Amino acid sequence: MIKRRQVHLDFHTNGSLPVGKSFSKAQFQNTLKAGHVNSITVFSKCHHGWSYHPTKIGDMHPELDFDLLGAQLEACKEIGVNAPVYISAGFDEKEYDKHPEWRLLHSMDENDLLEYHNETHFHLLCFNTGYLDFLCAQIEEVMERYNPCGIFLDIVSPRVCLCPQCVADMKESGLDINNEDHRKIFADKVLKKYIDATNSAVRKHSDTATIFHNGGHISKGNYDFIECNTHLELESLPTGGWGYDHFPLSAAYVRSLKNTDFLGMTGKFHHSWGEFGGFKHPNALIYETSLSIANGAGCSIGDQMHPLSELNPATYKLIGKAYSLVEQKEPWLDGAVNVADIGVLSAESLTGNHNEKADIGANRLLLENNCLYNFLDGTMDFSPFKLIILPDIEICDDKIIDKIKCYVHNGGKIIASGKALVKNGEFFLDTGAVFKGKNEFEPTYLVPCYETVNGITEYVMRCDSFKTEAVDCKEVAFMQNPYFNRTREQFCSHMHAPNNPDKNLPGAFIKGNVAYMGWDVFSAYAKHGHLCFKELFTHILKTMVGDELTVNADIPDRAVVTFTRQEEKKRHILHLLFAHTTVRSERTEVIEDTVPLYNVKCCVKTQEKPSKVILVPTCEEIDFSYAGGKVEFTVPEVNIHQMIAIED
């Protein structure tokens, strides 16, 4: 099992800077201890292309006069800290300058290429050139010289390249270089070539070393990439533009994979990678590491070491404030498996779009309803879930459609939206309505048949909508069209025409175990965040499975609720998290002040009456009652993160 308190130590260092002059084994060790760190990724080769050890393949940093990597590995071994080795794969600025024939060319336009070449940043290399042999030789040298516990390869993803070698190989394979789909096919082929070669370079020398290829995103359903790694590291720096709801979405998919350890990778920075002197508030790092462990992950915190090679004490004091708490909680994390009531068929797994708005919206709605959920791809088992959500996207795979039909036939419940239930222009499940195609009007209006915060009236829905004809369903919301679409020839006011109240159309309805919403609700919620979208989804969710949900906590929608089972310890663990976030600048969402929640009432379904309920990690027992298969208790305080163990 991978270590849970890791540091990812960046060390991308220009060749003119002094390196290693202040390194001290004792300082390195003592600083890691102060940070409660039990694993740290140390550098063989950086993005600049310099190696930090003697090398016969590449070039050691010109200002380094000793084996820095070896010294760090020795220091870590002496204090029982894991030390996987980092090797930059996609970037090597030194070799980019030395070998123009190894460069990745994103265009055939000389002006585009010149503009890219002159930009002040690292430049990509092509894995379909001699560079791959060079890289594999570097990997083998590290394996032979140091026999590390793991290898971390960075800047790895399928990329279209139009270098002479790629163009020639595409033509030889019968692919059209002007066809974007063909380019992507070949990019995937080159990535596989890279993975096979680099993994072989590691495995030639070790059967046990961990391997991770970092591309910044784990594509849902892409098993060719997922399975080439021994574990996964989910890069998600909330203050670097990812935001605080990005990691829960990634984790909700990865924890659905079988036998896959994973880390949540955040950073100590105020912004993102490469920020010397950037610090976030300790409360932010405490929340981010708590979010990782609550979602079934270990933790990795990004740092960047100064060229002088002394770990910054203030950084590890900051890290230690978070990792000391994680360390205290580890007895309740080991072997814990997340429990989920709801499965979401990932839109990304259907479309291949990494930034699929339907997934983002579904994730936010489930987080804000404090639900227990996992994201799924079409190969996974739907049967353990009380409800499956199909967000917006048309499903073209007949095997997945058959799986959905079987799931419903066996009593499973569905909430779908947009075209997610449509095949060949018809609903493939009995919704109690007839599908009539896409609505020509946008926006449209929702008229709820349920109570809302602002009452029963018309609510604008800024998204695609779909026409249906009700037959024998229960309508929970109506749709009204505007008088006309906004055009240059015909428009009204600043935004859109008002609703035409003359005709109510079916908007959302339920029949048996199937609920359907005739709007792209999830994509629209990601884009606009309208309360009316949330109220519609929440009403249908409660109608479908309200009484069946495992956990009910009286906690704000900005809070996070997860639930795990430690079978070996015969206990469940409830995680409650809450932090006040502030958008401090254009792209930076920060946490500083804590806002404790007091007397949080919780209700949890259990098969039998618990022996006790305790607060973790203090082991303080709290009172509870048990009736009708539900244990109820009140958590005195949630200050960022509170774990509650429910003992069998």
pLDDT of residue 343 exceeding 80: yes
pLDDT band at 241 (very low <50, low <70, confident <90, very high): confident
Averaged confidence pLDDT in the chain? 96
| Whether 397 and 538 share a structural domain | yes
Rounded distance between C-alpha atoms, residue 380 and residue 441, angstroms: 37
Residue 499 vs residues 91, 457, 458, 535, 609: alpha-carbon distances, Å: 54, 11, 8, 20, 53
| Whether 147 and 22 share a structural domain | yes
Share of the chain above pLDDT 70, in %: 100
| Whether 346 and 204 share a structural domain | no
| Whether 78 and 171 share a structural domain | yes
Domain CATH for 510: 3.40.50.880
Instruction: Summarize pLDDT for 253-289 with one digit per residue, the tens.
Output: 999 999 999 999 999 999 999 899 999 999 999 999 9
Structure-model confidence comparison of residues 289 and 585, the more confident one: 289
Q: How many CB atoms lie within 10 A of CB 554?
A: 14
Backbone φ/ψ region at 149: left (φ over 0), alpha (ψ -120 to 50), beta: alpha
Helices 357-368 and 246-254: angle between axes, nearest 10 degrees: 100
Task: Provide the pLDDT for residue 163.
Answer: 96
| Whether 544 and 443 share a structural domain | yes
pLDDT band at 584 (very low <50, low <70, confident <90, very high): confident
- DSSP letter at 192 equals H
- Using alpha carbons only, give the angle 290, 293, 295 rounded to the nearest 5 degrees: 105
- Residue from 302, 314, 236, 292 nearest 269 by CA: 302
| Enclosing H/E stretch for 416 | strand 413-417
| Whether 349 and 457 share a structural domain | yes
Task: Provide the pLDDT for residue 135.
Answer: 98
Q: Which of the residue ranges 47-56, 124-133, 239-248 would you say has the lowest mean pLDDT? A: 239-248
**Residue 512, token pair as written in the block:** 């048996």
Task: Provide the pLDDT for residue 589.
Answer: 86
| Whether 156 and 261 share a structural domain | yes
| Whether 257 and 279 share a structural domain | yes
Helices 521-528 and 357-368: angle between axes, nearest 10 degrees: 80
Task: Provide the pLDDT for residue 517.
Answer: 98
pTM: 0.96
Is the bond into 617 cis (omega within 30 degrees of 0)? yes
Length of the chain counted residue by residue: 648
- Among 310, 334, 358, give the residue marking a domain's end: 334
| Sign of CA pseudo-dihedral 443, 449, 451, 457 | positive
Task: Provide the pLDDT for residue 461.
Answer: 95
Instruction: Summarize pLDDT for 111-137 with one digit per residue, the tens.
Output: 999 999 999 999 999 999 999 999 999
Domain CATH for 562: 2.60.40.1180
Rounded distance between C-alpha atoms, residue 60 and residue 609, angstroms: 63
Containing structural domain, residue 580: 551-647
Rounded distance between C-alpha atoms, residue 537 and residue 550, angstroms: 19
Residue 345, phi then psi, degrees to nearest 5: -75, 110
pLDDT band at 582 (very low <50, low <70, confident <90, very high): confident
Is the bond into 443 cis (omega within 30 degrees of 0)? yes
- Among 548, 565, 583, give the residue marking a domain's end: 548
Q: State the total domains in the chain.
A: 3
Rounded distance between C-alpha atoms, residue 476 and residue 459, angstroms: 14
- Residue from 183, 188, 186, 202 nearest 156 by CA: 188
Instruction: Summarize pLDDT for 598-630 with one digit per residue, the tens.
Output: 999 999 999 999 999 999 999 999 999 999 999
Task: Provide the pLDDT for residue 636.
Answer: 98
One-character DSSP codes across 67-95: -HHHHHHHHHHHTT-B--EEEESSB-HHH
Q: Where are the alpha helices (DSSP H) in 173-312?
A: 180-203, 223-226, 246-254, 282-294
The number of CA neighbours under 13 Å toward the Cβ of 625 is 7
pLDDT band at 583 (very low <50, low <70, confident <90, very high): confident
Residue with tokens 């300082």: 27
One-character DSSP codes across 422-460: EETTEESS--SEEEEEE-S-SSEEEEESS--TT-SS-EE
Maximum CA pair distance of the chain? 82
Residue 590, phi then psi, degrees to nearest 5: -120, 160
Rounded distance between C-alpha atoms, residue 551 and residue 543, angstroms: 16
| Whether 351 and 322 share a structural domain | no
pLDDT of residue 585 exceeding 90: no
| Whether 618 and 583 share a structural domain | yes
- Residue from 216, 236, 276, 278 nearest 91 by CA: 216
Task: Provide the pLDDT for residue 360.
Answer: 97
| Whether 84 and 187 share a structural domain | yes
- Among 508, 526, 548, give the residue marking a domain's end: 548
| Whether 109 and 42 share a structural domain | yes
